[in-house]
Structure 1
Amino acid sequence: MDRRIEKTRQVIMNTFIDLLAEKGFEKITVIDIAERANINRGTFYLHYVDKFDLLDKCIETYIELLLNYCANSADKNLSERAFQSVFEYLEKNFTIYKLLLNNEGFGFFRSRLYSIIVQTVTEGDVIKSKNIVSSNDVTTHFLASGFIGVLEWWINNSMPCSVQEVTEQLMFLLEPYTKQLVSHESDI
């Protein structure tokens, strides 16, 4: 992709995020974005259909950044390192993720993250042990919902405990699942 196009898109997205923090999504107009980004409206429309398209692209970008960071620094199982990696990244990028989780109407961010967690739990072979009595689907969604709930609580309450504390508490709660994963791997 042409560097100028990339740079223009980044300026538009950064401007959008700034405006989102200042006035909320409903009050933002394309004119606001164009004026603040020092571009004309036509340039905006070359890159995005409307502000909803920009929001979708913004959410996808920040989900991808989170996933790439975690993929580069941890494994795909429910390991302490994997959880710590997620929370470290969120701590470093707290402002943007709080904005994406808190803003009204941004259920897309939460649901996209939820589906990724479900996929990770399923692919990670976490709950396929014969020792688990409950349905794999029920367990998968229980784990995903619990993780998202903790993540939202941690972000929305401005990180009331350290990365280490939240990671340790999650690992304690997930101990039955992680033990089964370890015992399942040793059977192989």
Structure 2
Amino acid sequence: MDRRIKKTRQLIMDTFIDLLSEKEFEKITINDIAQRADINRGTVYLHYMDKYDLLDKCIEKYIELLLNHCANSTDTNLDPSAIQSVFEYLEENFTIYKLLLNNEGVGFFRSRLYVIIAQTVTEAMGGKSENNKFSNGITTHFLTSGFIGVLEWWINNSIPCSVQEVTTQLLTLLEPYTRHLISH
């Protein structure tokens, strides 16, 4: 991709994020983005179909950055270092992830994150539950909901405890499940 195209897309996305920190997603217009970025409205439309497409691409980018960070720092998807890595990355990039969790109004970021974590848990389970009393679907969604809930609480409360503390407590709570999942 041409450097100018990358630069323009980044300018539009950065401007969008700045606006998102000032007002609700629904109140942001393409005109707002173009004026703030000091570009023509048509330039925004040249790169993004509409503000929903821009939001979608923004979410994809920041989920990809989170996943890439975790993939580069761990060997397996659900080992303790992977969970700690998620919280370390979120702490380093707190502002943008709090913004994405809280201000896009319709829950796109949370929904995408939920799907990715649920896929990770499902893959780690390897298709079989160690205990036949538990449904894989129920187990997957219980673990995913718990993890997302803790993550949201931690971000929404402006990191009320250290990465080490949240990781340790989460791993203690998930220990019966993660022991089984890690062994696969």
TM-score by length of 2: 0.94
Counterpart-to-counterpart distance in 2, 1:62 and 1:77: 18
User: How far apart in 1 are the matches of 2:77 and 2:95?
Assistant: 27
* Cα distance between partner residues in 1 of 2:77 and 2:6: 34
Find out whether 1:116 has 2:116 as its counterpart. Answer: yes
Q: How far 1:27 sits from its partner (Å)? A: 2.0
Q: How does 1:14-33 map to 2 (within 5 A)?
A: 14-33=14-33
State whether residues 83 and 167 of structure 2, in contact with CA within 8 Å, keep that contact through their aligned partners in structure 1. Answer: yes
The Cα shift of 1:104 comes to 4.8
What residue in structure 2 maps to residue 151 of structure 1?
A: 151
SS of 2:105 mapped into structure 1: coil
5 Å matches for 1:1-188? 1-125=1-125, 128-131=128-131, 133-181=133-181, 184-185=183-184
How many residues in Structure 1 have an aligned counterpart in Structure 2?
184
Structure 2 stretches lacking a partner, 5+ long: none
Q: Secondary structure at the match of 2:21?
A: helix
| TM-score, length of structure 1 as denominator length | 0.92
- AA matched with 2:77: N
> Among the aligned pairs, what percent are the same residue?
76
The structural deviation recorded for 1:181 is: 3.6
Query: Structure 1 residues 144 and 127 mapped into 2: Cα distance closer, same or farther (>3 Å)?
Result: farther
Moved over 4 A (4+): none
CA separation in 2, counterparts of 1:158 and 1:175?
Answer: 26
Structure 2 CA distance for partners of 1:168 and 1:132, relative to 1, 3 Å = farther
Note the C-alpha offset of 1:145: 0.4
Structure 1, unaligned runs of 5 or more: none
Question: Structure 1 residues 126, 157: closer, same or farther in 2, change over 3 A?
Answer: farther
